[in-house]
Structure 1
Amino acid sequence: MAVTIVERLVGGRMLRFETGRVAKLASGAVMATYADTVVLATCVRADPRMGIDFFPLTCDYREKTGAAGKFPGGFRKREGAPNEKEVLTMRMIDRPIRPLFPEGFCDEIQLQAWVMSHDGQNDADVLACSAASAALYITDAPYQGPVATVRVGRIITEQGERFVINPTQAQMEFSDLDLVLSGHKDGINMIEVGAAEMDEATMLRAIRFGYDEGVKPIFELIEELRAKCGAPAIRMGELNTPSEEIFKKVKDAAYTRLVEARKINSKKDRNAAVDAIKGEILKAHFAIPEGISYSAHMVAEKALKHAKEAFRILEKKVTHYLVAQHGIRADGRKLNQIRDLDMSVEVFPRTHGSAFFQRGETQSLVTCTLGTVKDEQIVDGLLAEYAKKFYLHYNFPPFCTGEAGRIMGPGRREQGHGALAERSLLGILPTSEDFPYTIRLVSDITESNGSSSMASVCGGCLALMDAGVPIRNTCAGISVGRFTDTDGKVQHVTDIIGEEDFFGEMDFKVSGTREGITGIQLDLKARGLKVEEIDVIFTHAKEGRLHIIAEMEKVIAKPRGDISPLAPRITIVKIDPEKIGKLIGPGGKTIRGIQEATGATINVEEDGTVFIACSNAEKAAQAKAAVEALGAEIRIGAVYTGKVVAIKEFGCFVELAPGTDGMVHVSELAHGYVKKVDEQVKVGDVVTVKVINIDDNGRIKLSRKAMLPIPEGAARE
C-alpha cells in the first residue's frame, strides 16, 4: 500500500490522516495529526476463535509519557496499567464502533491507539477515536462506518455564546460545556456531556453544531482516505446467525406463547414462563439424539446453539413489537412511568453525609466524606498536573444482581459509570472559594435492575445535601430507552429496567436540575439518531427528572445549614506570598509548631492561601490567629501581646508571632530607672508592647512602658 495522506481544516486547525508508512503488517494503520498532537491507531482482524458466540472487539488507548516530554512515574520508570483517563478513552472508542458490525460477526478485532506527541493544548482522546475508526475503515472488516468524534465547548463572549470544535485546554478553562460527540452519515450514535446546568435548547444547538462542523467533515475525510489508499474489498466472513429455516421453526412454535409470556408483569414469573417455553421448544425440536456419530453430533450441537440464538432474537422482536405497537412494557408500566421511589438521608451515624436511594429494583447506598487539601486527588498525565477536589467512586458488587462472581477492583464499566455520575454532580457544586473542602462520594450499588449510574446521581445529590455541601440545585438522573417495530414505528420509554436495556436499542441517560442538564451519556445499538429525535428524548427525560427532584426534596429540601460535627472545619487565611517562608520556618519548624500546639492541619498554597483544618473550633481559632500574626505586616504604632523569650543585660526579646521577635530596650521596660531587666520581666511572661521603630534591617524596637500607666509622681514631675 502506497503512502496516502489526506487533510482538512477542522476547528481552525489542520487534521491529517496518513497510512501506508507505519505498521504496515497490521490490517489497517493510521497516523493522525491535529496541530502538534499525533496519535498512531492500528487495527488487526483475526479469524474467530473456536466456540465463541460473541463479538470479541478490543479497544486499547495508551498515552506515552514521552509524547509530552515526561518520564513515567514509579520505580520502574515504565508505562504500566492504564489510568482512569486511558480507560475512559477506551470506552469512548468502543461505544460508537461496536454497534456498527453485522449481527453474528465473531471475528476478532483489535484496535490500539498510542499517543506519540502531545502539544499540551489539543487533547488526544477524541483524535484517537477518529483515528481508530479510520484504521478500522481501511481494512476488509464489515464495519458499517466510519464514525468521527469531536469535542464541543461553549464560551460566552461579549457578542454572545460561541461554540468551539475541539477547544484547546486554554479555551476549556472558560467553557461551561464539555460535549463529546460521535456520529456517521446516518446520525449521532454516542454522546458524553458534562455541563453547568445547560438548558435543553442550548444543548441541542451544541449537538447540531458539533455534528455539522466537526463530525461530518471528519467522517468525510476518512471516506476520502479509504477511497485513495486502495483499501481491500469488504470480507464478511462466516456469521454466527441462525438460518432462516431454524428461525422459522422457532418462531412458529414460540411466537404466540412468547407474546403472552412477555406480558406478565412479575419479573420472576415472566422469566419462568419464557424459560419454560424455550426449554420445551429446544427439547421438542432441537434435542441432540443419543448414539449418533461425532460429525452428526457437531451438526446437532450447532443447530441447538443457533436455535437458542433464534429464540433470543425472537424475544427481542416480541419485546419491540409489544412496546412500539401496544405500549406494553416488561413490568407493566406506562411508557413514561417511573418506578416506585424510596429514599432517605442520615443512613449511617459516623459518616459526614449518607443517603439511600431506590428506584424499583435498583438501589444505591452513597456516603459523602469531606476532607482537606491533602485529600485532593493528584492527576498527572500528558496534560499539566492538577488536583481534583471532587471525585465519585462507583462500586458494582456481584451480589447486587443476585450473582456470585469474582471480587476484584473496579473494572472499565465501574470507572465509566462513576465518571458519568461524577461529571453530572460536578455542575452543581460550589466553587472552592465558597467551599474549600475536598469531597469524596462513594456509591455502592446494592441492588441493580437498570440505571444504577442514575441512582448514583440521585443518591449522591442527597448525600451532598446531608453533608451540608451548599450545592446550587437538586440534581437527579433518568434514562430513556428506544424500541422500533418491524414497520419502523419508534417508541420511547422512560426509566428503563435491565431487560429493556438488553432488548432495547438505546440507553440515553440524562441528569440535571430544574435549570438544565449537567450530564449525558448515550449508548446506542440502532444506526443513529437525528437531532430532532434527541429533542423528543430530552422532553421525556426532563419530565422524569423533575418528578424525581420533587420526591427528593420531600426528603431533604436543601443542604443542611452546617457541615457534620465529625468533619474537619476549614478556615481560610490569606497572607502575603512573601511571608510563606516565614510561616513555614526553617525546615518547617514554625508551621509544625503551630500544628502540634493546636492539633490543626495547615496547608499553604503558592498564592498565599492558607487552609486551616481542625475539628475543634477553639483550637482552629488559635491556629488562625498564629497564622495571621505571622502573615501580618509589623507596623510602627501597632500594639501586640507576646511572650518574653529571652532576657539580656540591655533588655528583653518579645515574640510578637512565631518566628518574629522584637527587642524592648531596658529604657523602654518601665517608667523611671530600671536597674535589672529581670526585676521587671522574666522569660515566659506575657507582656503588651508597642512598636516604636523598625530599622532598615527589619529589626523591631518595642516599648513596654508606652503601654503602662504613668506613675502619679512622674506625672506631677
Structure 2
Amino acid sequence: MESSVTIDYFGRPLTISTGAVAKQADGSVLARYGDTVVLVTAVVNKDREEDDFLPLTVNYQEMQYAAGKFPGGFFKREGRPSQSEILVARLIDRPLRPSFAKGFHKEVQVVATVLSADQENDPAILSMVGASAALTVSQIPFLGPLGAVKIGRRDGEIVINPTSLEDSDMDIVVAGSRDAIMMVEGGAEFVSGPDMIEAIDFAHRSMLPLIEMQERLREKAGKPKWQVIEAILPEDFKAEVRNAVESDLVEAFAIRPKLERGAKVSEVGRGLVDKYPDEQKSMARKSVDQIGKEVMRKTLFETGKRIDGRNPDDIRNITCQVGILPRTHGSALFTRGETQALAITTFGTADDEQKIESLHEGERYKSFLLHYNFPPFSVGETGRMGAPGRREIGHGHLAERALLPIIPPKEDFPYTIRVVSEILESNGSSSMASVCSGCLSLMDAGVPVKEPVAGIAMGLIIQDGKFVILSDILGDEDHMGDMDFKVTGSRDGITAIQMDIKVKGITKEIMSKAVELAQAGIGRILDIMTQTLGKPRESFSPYAPRIWTMKVRPEKIREVIGPGGKMIKSIVDQTGVKIDIEDTGIVTIVSQDEASANEAIELIKRITKDIEVGSIHLGKVKKVVDFGAIVEIAPGLDGLVHVSQLSDAYIKRVTDVVKEGDEIYVKVIDVEQNGRIRLSRKAAMKEQGQTEAPKGPAE
C-alpha cells in the first residue's frame, strides 16, 4: 500500500512516497521536488557474512530520458558513471556512513536513479534526502533520518535550494540530523569564517521539516528495525591485552617518521596476536586497535602533545619550490611534513575546454581543470594504476573548487588551464597540499591570480565531554580521530570547505573554533608560500602558447571565414597561427610568437575594415585582363581597376603599366550594390601628387 508525505518546502511542493514501486527492495521511496523525481532504494545483503567494517556502496545515476534526451555514444544508452555522478554518489554516502547502528557490518547498497529532471530543482539534494528516507523506512538499523540542503547567497541573503547559482558567492551542501551537522561540502568566493558558519547553521535549522516528514513516513510505513547487539570485547580479555601492549604502543606512537611508526605498531600487534589461538586472533586484533586509539587520545589530553610531538595548533615544516620542470608551462613542489604534492600547470585554447553534461545544469564548458593523482608508491605500497578512483575524483574536485575563485575571467585571460597534482608522498592532507602546490604552479606559469590561496585539514578528538581541535592532521590522526575538516582560502576569506565525521555530528561551537583555527593556519602557510613566489610571473614559459583576442562585428565574421573557409585558411597558412571565431565576434589567435600574431591581426583588420568610397589602399595585382587589372586591397577583397583608370597616359597594353604581383596604390571610386568594388590607380596618384610620363610605342 502506498504511503506518502507532502510539505511545502521553500515555495515548492516536496513529496516522499513509499510502497508503490520497487517493493522488493528493503527500503524504497519516490521523492519529488517540483518536477524533479528520483527513485532511491536501499538493500541489505542478508546472506553475506559480516565484515569488521560497514561495506556501504552508493550509486547515483542520471537517466537521459529524465530530461527528454538521448544518451550520446555509439550504443545510445547510459554507461559508466560520469564524474558528476561519482561526486553526487560521494555526497550521498558521506553523511550516511556514520549514521548506522554501532556494530552493524552487513553489506548495504543504496541506489539513486533520476527519473525526471526539471533543471531547477537539484536531483543531487533530492537524492540525499531520498537515501535517508529509504533507509529510514527499511528494517536496516539506520539511526536517521537526515536532512540535506544546498545553500547559496545573493546580496548577503542566504537562499535554500536555489534554482540558480548565478550571482551567488557560495555553493554549499549541508547534511545533518535533528541535533547535529553531519557533512559539509562546497565552494565560495572569499566568504568570511563567521559568515560561513552562520550560513551552515541556518542550513541546519532549515532541515527540520525534512527530518520531520521522514519521521511521519516511518510512522505510516516503516518496517521494524533489526536489533544490533554490538560485540563488546570482554573486559578481562581487553585488560590482559592492555597490560601486554600499552607500554609498547606508547613507545611506538612516540616515533615520528610515519613508516617507522607504522612498522613498530604493526610489530607490536602481530607479536601479541600470534600468541593467541585462531579463534581469539580477531578479538586480539580489535583490542590492539582500540587500545592504540585510546593511547593516542590519552596522550593528547594528558600532555597536550600529538603523536609527532606537535602542539594541537602546530603546522608541520613546509618547503616550497617553483619552476622545477624545464619544459612545462608552470610547476611547483609543495612539501608539508611527509606529504608532498607536485603540481603542473598547462595552458591550452578553447579547443581544450571540457564539455560537461548534466541533467541539472545542462551542457557547459569548463576552462579550468584540476586533476589529482594518488599513486600507491606515495604511501610505500604496491597497487593498481590507471583510471582515477572515486577518492581521486573527489579530492581533485575539492582542490579545483578551492582554486577556481582566483582564476581570472575568460575575457581577461582567454586560456584553458589544466593543473595536475601528483601526490609523491602522503601522510595526511594531500588534497590540501594540492591546493597549495596548485596555486604556486599557477603563479609560476604566469596566471594573474586574484590572490594566493592555501588549504589545511583540521582534526577533532572528542572524549568525556571535552574536545581538542588539531591543525594540519596526520594520516593516523585522520584514521583515529573523529573529524576531517578541510578549509581553503586566502587571508580574506574561504574558497572551499569539506567536512567528514565519524561521530554522530558536531556542534556549531566546534565548527566555529575549527574554522577560526583553520584561517589562522592558512595565514601562516601563505606566509611561507609567498616567500617562495610573492606574485605571478610577468612572462610565460617559452614553451607556452600565446593567445591574443580581438573583436570584430558579428556581421563581418563571414568575411573573415570566407567562402568554404578559404579566407581564414589563407591567413593561417600565411602566418602559421591558430584562429578561433565565436558567434559574438570574439576572435582568438594562438601563436608561439608575437610577430605572427600581429600579422594575423593586421590581416583580419584589413578584411573587416569598411571599404569607403574615396579611401586609398595599397593593393596587390592578382590578375591582369584585357580590360584592366584585378587588385586585392585586403585579404580576400578584390576590386577592378579598369584600363581607363590605370593612367592618364595612353595605354596600349595593360601590362605596360602593371603586372601580376605588383603593389600599387588605388582609390575606391565606387562600391556597387552587389558588393563589386571599382578602383582607380590614376585617381590615387593624383591625390598623392604623383604623375606618370606617357609611354610611347616600343621601338
Task: Decide: shared fold, TM above 0.5.
Answer: yes
In the TM superposition, residue 68 of structure 1 has moved relative to its aligned partner by 1.1
How many angstroms apart in 1 are the aligned matches of 2:662 and 2:383? 69
In the TM superposition, residue 583 of structure 1 has moved relative to its aligned partner by 1.9
Q: Provide the secondary structure at the position in 2 that maps to 1:308.
A: helix
Aligned to 1:472: 450
How many angstroms apart in 1 are the aligned matches of 2:543 and 2:259? 44
The one of 204, 209, 234 equivalent to 1:217 is 209
Deviations 1:521-573 (A, max 9, x none): 11111211222221111111011100010100111000011222211111111
Bigger shift: residues 9-18 or 353-362: 9-18
Aligned to 2:157: 162
In the TM superposition, residue 239 of structure 1 has moved relative to its aligned partner by 4.7
Aligned to 2:169: 176
- CA RMSD of superposed structures (Å): 1.9
In the TM superposition, residue 713 of structure 1 has moved relative to its aligned partner by 9.3
How many angstroms apart in 2 are the aligned matches of 1:205 and 1:676? 88
Aligned to 1:90: 89
Aligned to 1:249: 240
Aligned to 2:328: 351
Contact 2:272-2:284 within 8 A present in 1 as well: no
How many angstroms apart in 2 are the aligned matches of 1:311 and 1:149? 37
Distance 1:317 1:424, change over 3 A: same
Aligned to 1:202: 195
How many angstroms apart in 2 are the aligned matches of 1:417 and 1:269? 27
Q: Which amino acid aligns with 1:219?
A: I
Aligned to 1:294: none
In the alignment, structure 1 residue 384 sits paired with structure 2 residue 384: no
How many angstroms apart in 1 are the aligned matches of 2:613 and 2:201? 65
Contact 1:642-1:655 within 8 A present in 2 as well: yes
In the TM superposition, residue 673 of structure 1 has moved relative to its aligned partner by 4.1
In the TM superposition, residue 654 of structure 1 has moved relative to its aligned partner by 2.1
Q: Where do 1:43-122 residues align within 5 Å?
A: 43-47=42-46, 49-50=48-49, 52-122=51-121
In the TM superposition, residue 643 of structure 1 has moved relative to its aligned partner by 2.1
Distance 1:646 1:525, change over 3 A: same
Aligned to 1:297: none
How many angstroms apart in 2 are the aligned matches of 1:384 and 1:629? 39
In the TM superposition, residue 356 of structure 1 has moved relative to its aligned partner by 0.6
Contact 2:176-2:204 within 8 A present in 1 as well: yes
How many angstroms apart in 2 are the aligned matches of 1:79 and 1:431? 34
Q: Which amino acid aligns with 2:454?
A: A
How many angstroms apart in 1 are the aligned matches of 2:52 and 2:87? 26
Aligned to 1:441: 419
Q: Which amino acid aligns with 1:22?
A: V
How many angstroms apart in 2 are the aligned matches of 1:619 and 1:375? 22
Distance 1:664 1:206, change over 3 A: farther
Q: Give ranges in structure 2 of 5+ residues lacking alignment.
A: 694-699
Aligned to 1:137: 136
Aligned to 1:484: 462
Deviations 1:451-478 (A, max 9, x none): 0000000000000000000000011000
Q: TM-score, normalised by structure 1?
A: 0.93
Q: Which amino acid aligns with 2:568?
A: I
How many angstroms apart in 2 are the aligned matches of 1:222 and 1:501? 32
Q: Give ranges in structure 1 of 5+ residues lacking alignment.
A: 289-299
Q: Where do 1:529-544 residues align within 5 Å?
A: 529-544=506-521
Bigger shift: residues 216-225 or 58-67: 216-225
Q: Provide the secondary structure at the position in 2 that maps to 1:142.
A: coil
In the alignment, structure 1 residue 227 sits paired with structure 2 residue 204: no
Aligned to 1:28: 27
Contact 1:667-1:673 within 8 A present in 2 as well: no
How many angstroms apart in 1 are the aligned matches of 2:89 and 2:571? 47
Contact 2:50-2:105 within 8 A present in 1 as well: no
How many angstroms apart in 2 are the aligned matches of 1:713 and 1:67? 77
In the alignment, structure 1 residue 322 sits paired with structure 2 residue 337: no
How many angstroms apart in 2 are the aligned matches of 1:136 and 1:51? 19
Bigger shift: residues 386-395 or 95-104: 95-104
Q: Provide the secondary structure at the position in 2 that maps to 1:698.
A: coil
Contact 1:106-1:239 within 8 A present in 2 as well: no
Aligned to 2:340: 363
Q: Provide the secondary structure at the position in 2 that maps to 1:172.
A: coil
In the alignment, structure 1 residue 519 sits paired with structure 2 residue 496: yes
Distance 1:164 1:181, change over 3 A: same
In the alignment, structure 1 residue 648 sits paired with structure 2 residue 625: yes
Distance 1:339 1:123, change over 3 A: same
Bigger shift: residues 10-19 or 330-339: 10-19
Deviations 1:47-103 (A, max 9, x none): 262363221101000010111111111111111111100010111011111011233
Aligned to 1:15: 14
Contact 2:50-2:106 within 8 A present in 1 as well: no
How many angstroms apart in 2 are the aligned matches of 1:155 and 1:640? 54
Bigger shift: residues 439-448 or 177-186: 177-186
Aligned length: 690
Aligned to 1:597: 574
How many angstroms apart in 2 are the aligned matches of 1:712 and 1:56? 94
Distance 1:339 1:635, change over 3 A: same
Distance 1:48 1:102, change over 3 A: farther
Aligned to 2:479: 502
Q: Which amino acid aligns with 2:41?
A: T
Aligned to 1:40: 39
Contact 1:325-1:489 within 8 A present in 2 as well: no
Q: Provide the secondary structure at the position in 2 that maps to 1:416.
A: helix
In the TM superposition, residue 342 of structure 1 has moved relative to its aligned partner by 1.1
Q: Which amino acid aligns with 1:79?
A: E
How many angstroms apart in 1 are the aligned matches of 2:199 and 2:467? 25
Q: Which amino acid aligns with 1:535?
A: S
How many angstroms apart in 2 are the aligned matches of 1:42 and 1:512? 38
How many angstroms apart in 1 are the aligned matches of 2:238 and 2:665? 97
Deviations 1:466-503 (A, max 9, x none): 00000000110001100012x22100010001000000
Bigger shift: residues 488-497 or 321-330: 321-330
Q: Provide the secondary structure at the position in 2 that maps to 1:380.
A: strand
How many angstroms apart in 2 are the aligned matches of 1:632 and 1:530? 66
Q: Provide the secondary structure at the position in 1 that maps to 2:412.
A: coil
Distance 1:647 1:59, change over 3 A: same
Q: Provide the secondary structure at the position in 1 that maps to 2:391.
A: helix
Q: Which amino acid aligns with 1:94?
A: D
In the TM superposition, residue 265 of structure 1 has moved relative to its aligned partner by 3.5
Contact 2:274-2:281 within 8 A present in 1 as well: no
Bigger shift: residues 698-707 or 265-274: 265-274
Q: Which amino acid aligns with 1:665?
A: H
Distance 1:524 1:455, change over 3 A: same
Distance 1:454 1:82, change over 3 A: same
Aligned to 1:337: 314
Contact 2:49-2:106 within 8 A present in 1 as well: no
In the TM superposition, residue 205 of structure 1 has moved relative to its aligned partner by 2.3
Q: Provide the secondary structure at the position in 2 that maps to 1:386.
A: strand
Q: Which amino acid aligns with 1:176?
A: D
Aligned to 1:190: 183
Q: Which amino acid aligns with 1:63?
A: E
Q: Where do 1:649-688 residues align within 5 Å?
A: 649-688=626-665
How many angstroms apart in 2 are the aligned matches of 1:660 and 1:523? 64
Contact 2:181-2:507 within 8 A present in 1 as well: yes
How many angstroms apart in 1 are the aligned matches of 2:516 and 2:616? 66
In the alignment, structure 1 residue 236 sits paired with structure 2 residue 236: no
Distance 1:238 1:587, change over 3 A: farther
The one of 520, 539, 556 equivalent to 1:562 is 539
In the alignment, structure 1 residue 415 sits paired with structure 2 residue 393: yes
In the TM superposition, residue 218 of structure 1 has moved relative to its aligned partner by 1.6
Q: TM-score, normalised by structure 2?
A: 0.95
Aligned to 1:461: 439
How many angstroms apart in 2 are the aligned matches of 1:406 and 1:265? 28
In the TM superposition, residue 603 of structure 1 has moved relative to its aligned partner by 1.0
How many angstroms apart in 2 are the aligned matches of 1:202 and 1:671? 81
Contact 2:183-2:500 within 8 A present in 1 as well: yes
Q: Which amino acid aligns with 1:462?
A: L
